[in-house]
Amino acid sequence: VSTLSRGLVQYLLESKDVALNVVSMNQNDDPGGGLGGWWRGNITGMIEDNVSPDSKQQDHLYYAKGSLSERTLSLRGLEANICIDLNGRTMGNSLELFNEQICDLQVTYLGLPQTTGITSMDYIITDKSSVGEVESGEDMWYSEMQAILSNQCYMTNDHASLMGHVKDRYPLRLRDDDLKRKVLIANLGNWQKITPEALDAWSNVLRSIEGGVMLFYRHKGSESAFKNVQLEMAARGIHPERVLITDMHPWIMHTWYKTTVDIVLDTIGKAGHTVNLDGEWAGLPIVTMARGGMEGRAGASVTGGGGPRVL
């Protein structure tokens, strides 16, 4: 969510008619406090660079600390016209503050494009693929009105601004001699999204491509998960030597390293979100299947920009 939030903040900072207040809900305001502190410093730097002495509006970063009532009063004191929640129902969210009505118009966006269930949340910003078959801005399963983006993905992951050097570089084709002669298929997501149905589909694809190999990334839990995937695909007729794993790369470079892949096969039932966006920015063709709820339609949201392209 941090990269998505940065993209949104950068977009809003470019507007001359918006005074932006970014509120950190982290009770630890140590700028060096781990990865969260790094991202907070990154976003803070953007805001500080944007503030001009002769500007009619000022952009600020605030830290919401203290009890619920203290934080509520502090945020109401900003007298904001619009408050945007960037977490949804994810870990560490601050929906309790929005339940206290901290401003007149409250919106949820980015973190999780599903309903918050809070009646005081006025809108949810989403796209056609994420919400499924909804004809209007209202839906019985949402407590919010839906602001549906037209032909766009709801995620603001702008690598052209965030990592322009990736977009302008030539594709990476550094493989060993043996691998150069193979079709390199990859799944970019983490292990918990892999289902038997996905393993069936991937194995069917590999059986139809002579010499094709399947690549996974060393996400958390790889020590046991990768071995399990190799065993499961072996049971489906795919030799373990055709199932590979590679290290993760520093976030500023990982998109470029992904350009070595030929095609991405998404997970089924719980699709890739930002990992598929990374694949798109790396210029990779992505095959996904919209299925079930929002978590199963995220790949279609990314690849279709709000309406999946059908093969």
* pLDDT, mean over the chain: 78
162-193: per-residue pLDDT in tens? 555 555 655 565 555 555 668 899 999 999 99
pLDDT given at position 10: 66
Q: What pLDDT score was predicted for residue 306?
A: 43
Residue 267 has pLDDT above 50, yes or no: yes
Helix (H) or strand (E) holding 160: helix 159-162
Tell me the β-bridge partners of 107: 84, 123
> Is residue 59 very low, low, confident or very high in pLDDT (cuts 50, 70, 90)?
low
Which backbone phi and psi does 61 adopt, to 5 degrees? -115, 130
Strands (E), the chain: 21-24, 60-63, 82-85, 105-108, 123-127, 145-149, 184-186, 213-217, 243-246, 263-265, 286-287
Examine the pLDDT at 8 and tell me if it is beyond 60: yes
Residue 32 pLDDT greater than 80, yes or no: no
Question: Tell me, what's the pLDDT at 248?
Answer: 85
- Model confidence over 101-130: pLDDT tens digits? 999 999 998 877 788 999 999 999 888 888
pLDDT at 20: 74
- pLDDT higher for 153 or 159? 153
β-strand partners of 62:
23
Q: What's the rounded mean pLDDT across residues 294-310?
A: 69
